[in-house]
Every structure is written in structure tokens, then in C-alpha cells.
């Protein structure tokens, strides 16, 4: 995903509001899913929609009006009714250099459109998501066995070492209240 920050994305000082980072991360994931035929349009045909059930965000740097932001989403894990993604937002600087802005983890659940309850992912969509996760695994940075943290890594894959951070402390975890 590539977006230029518009005036509507910023606060009075011209800096992007923190909540807009989450929206950009979600957009990056949904664009990836749509591109592979596993997004909201494909799910709607099955009477299924997506709901975010977990969100973790780590802010590294701010961005401002007219900055170009890149979003790189990766499917990390696929279950029966849920899947976990990791997204990194970068600012594209002069000379095509990238500055890390935000890293985050979004967990999506398949929800019955009419009932609002979790349902299994449609088999074709689940298979596509598993393929995306397998592709991401091929390009992932190696992890240390004892800690699970990434080891130094240089390369051109979907994941970059600086995009992968240790899991945030429980204080950083936001879990929306369940709705009736």
C-alpha cells in the first residue's frame, strides 16, 4: 500500500494523528487480501465479514502532511476462524530511503454477517491465507530459539529485521470489549 498523507489525516500541527496509523495498517492488510481474492469482497459472497479482535501497535516515528507512507502487510498465522497479520508502515524519504513509522499486529476473525458471531473461514479463503502465510515464512528473518526474537537480517523479503519487533508488554495490548 502506498498513500500520500492528506490534510484530513493530520491534527492542527500537521502531524498524523495516532489513530490514523491503525487505519492505514488495516487498509494495507485489506488491500493485500483483495489483491489475492481473500478480502471483504470474496467473503461477502459467503455471508462473512471480517472483524478485528486484537490489535497491538508500536509507534516509532511520526509523519506529517504530504509524506508518502508505505504499508507492508504479512499474514503470519491462519486458524479456523481467525488469522493474524503484521503490518509495518514506513515513510518514503528522499532517495527512496525508508523510515519506520509504526509496526503492528492485527488479528481478524470471520464473522457471520447476519448473526455477528464467529464462523469458520470459507475453505478457499483459508487456503489463500495459508499460502500468503507460507510465502511470508520464506522471507522471514531467522529467530533465536531461546527468545523468539529476530536475528540480524539483511535482504529483500516481505519482512525486514527492523519491521519485526519483540512482542509488546501486556500494557501495550488493546482488546476491544465484546459486543452483545
Average pLDDT, the chain: 82
Beta bridge partners of 70: 2, 90
Chain segment 141-171, per-residue pLDDT in tens = 555 455 444 443 333 333 333 333 333 434 4
Give CA separation, 103 vs 23, 25, 65, in Å: 13, 9, 20
Q: What is the pTM of this model?
A: 0.75
Pick the CATH number of 2-141 from 3.40.50.300, 3.40.50.360, 3.10.129.10, 3.40.50.740: 3.10.129.10
* pLDDT value, residue 96: 82
Query: How confident is the model over 19-26, as a mean pLDDT?
Result: 95
What per-residue confidence (pLDDT) applies to 94?
Answer: 85
Each residue of 91-146: pLDDT tens digit? 999 888 999 999 999 999 999 988 989 999 999 999 999 999 988 777 665 554 55
What is the reported pLDDT for 116?
Answer: 87
Q: Where are the domains of the chain?
A: 2-141
Amino acid at each position: 500500500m502506498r498513500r500520500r498523507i492528506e490534510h484530513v489525516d493530520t491534527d492542527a500541527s500537521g502531524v498524523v494523528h495516532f489513530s490514523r496509523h491503525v487505519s492505514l495498517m488495516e487498509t494495507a492488510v485489506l488491500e493485500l487480501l483483495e489483491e489475492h481474492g481473500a478480502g471483504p469482497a470474496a467473503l461477502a459472497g459467503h455471508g462473512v465479514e471480517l472483524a478485528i479482535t486484537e490489535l497491538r501497535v508500536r509507534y516509532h516515528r511520526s509523519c506529517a502532511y504530504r509524506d508518502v507512507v508505505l504499508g507492508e502487510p504479512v499474514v503470519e498465522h491462519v486458524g479456523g476462524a481467525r488469522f493474524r497479520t503484521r503490518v509495518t508502515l514506513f515513510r518514503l524519504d528522499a532517495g527512496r530511503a525508508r523510515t519506520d513509522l509504526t509496526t503492528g499486529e492485527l488479528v481478524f476473525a470471520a464473522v457471520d454477517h447476519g448473526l455477528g458471531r464467529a464462523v469458520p473461514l470459507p475453505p478457499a479463503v483459508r487456503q489463500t491465507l495459508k499460502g500468503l502465510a507460507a510465502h511470508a515464512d520464506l522471507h522471514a528473518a531467522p529467530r533465536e530459539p531461546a527468545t523468539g526474537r529476530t536475528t540480524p537480517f539483511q535482504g529483500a523479503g516481505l519482512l525486514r529485521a527492523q519491521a519485526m519487533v519483540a512482542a509488546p508488554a501486556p500494557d501495550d495490548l488493546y482488546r476491544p470489549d465484546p459486543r452483545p
